[in-house]
Amino acid sequence: MKKKILLSFALFLFIGKAFTQDKKFHIYFCIGQSNMEGAARIEAQDTVNIDSRFKVLEALDCPKIDRQKGHWYTAKPPLCRCDTRLSPADYFGRTLLKSMKKKQKLGIVHVAVAGSKIEIFDKVNYKAYLDSSAKEKPWMINMANAYGGNPYERLIEMAKIAQKSGVIKGILLHQGESNTGDKTWPAQVKKIYDDILADLNLARNSIPLLAGELVAAEQGDKCASHNAIIATLPQSIPNAVVVSSNGLTAAKDGLHFDSAGIREFGKRYAEALMQYSKK
């Protein structure tokens, strides 16, 4: 009888340990549209010298790059979907990891859809938004369909897997080109932020949200006016931090950052988080 009790107790400890979060594994969500997804070209320098402590949780099956949905991999770009390009998340992770202890790791959960409004991450209204966009942006619908037709739900699904491995530390957002001038944008972002925390059983306002500005007017951005709206986000979310895009180089289309700009932007996200953490 005693042997059975001891065996059961040992099994309990083993199972408990197997599903215990590693507090040294810090996890961040990356959401938004094309600049977060990765619109800049991946160059040779972006594929080498990647610390194996920097991980990405693949959000869909990608046989061409030998990745499976729901599994962790060293964070070699692309970090979003199977054929996306360079994201701020790439250099956010690399930069932040340099400031972390050697026994710590950093993981990314990345779900983004080019050309989408913030409404695509609204757990209630996403379907109405996608239905209304079907004729105008069929390519965007195909991207959403890669996430099972519901990017928010896929984010939460992956986040719950990630929670078994580590601790959620923050959210990176880059979105707004498709919502330029929409003064309800901060309130919509707040709803999504609150929903994410509630669905993951995290305390309200318990993690930072880092929101990057759009390409600056000096770089010819067609949507730079939205930066004034992004600047108001901390009024809605106490833990929101706005990441400046001032001086970052951009592509000729006036909407996207180029590779050099994306690398620097990722570093700025990391630096903004480090400054926030000192408060």
Name the band, by pLDDT with cuts 50, 70 and 90, for residue 15.
very low
Instruction: State whether residue 62 is helix, strand or coil.
Output: strand
Q: Which residues contact 206 (CB under 8 A, 6 or more apart)?
A: 197, 239
Note the pLDDT of residue 5: 43
Mean pLDDT of 160-177: 98
- 118-161 tens-digit pLDDT: 999 999 999 999 999 999 999 999 999 999 999 999 999 999 99
Give the residue extent of every domain in the chain: 21-277
55, pLDDT greater than 70: yes
Is 256 a residue of the active site?
A: yes
Helix (H, G, I), strand (E, B) or coil at 50: coil
Q: Which of 133, 256, 258, 259 is catalytic?
A: 256
What is the percentage of the chain residues whose pLDDT exceeds 70? 93
Is 253 one of the annotated active-site residues of the chain? Answer: yes
Mean pLDDT of the chain: 93
Q: What is the pLDDT of residue 64?
A: 95
pLDDT of 279 reads: 77
Would you place residue 21 in the very low, low, confident or very high pLDDT band (cuts 50, 70, 90)?
confident
Q: Active-site residue among 61, 83, 131, 253?
A: 253
Let me know if 26 is a catalytic residue. no
Burial 218-245 (b: 16+ CB within 10 A, else e): ebebebbebbebbeebeebbebbbbbeb
Catalytic residue among 34, 87, 116, 133: 34
Residue 199, number of CB atoms within 10 A of its CB: 15
Q: b/e map of 112-131 (b: 16 or more CB within 10 Å)?
A: bbbbbbbbbbbbeebeebbe
Task: With a cut of 60, say whether residue 17 has pLDDT above it.
Answer: no
CB atoms within 10 A of CB 255: 18
Q: Which fold has domain 21-277?
A: Rossmann fold (3.40.50)
- Running DSSP on this structure, what letter comes out for residue 8? H
- CB-based burial, 11-43: b 16+ in 10 Å, e otherwise: eeeeeeeeeeeeeebbbbbbbbbbbbbbbbebe
CB atoms within 10 A of CB 167: 16
pTM for the full predicted model? 0.92
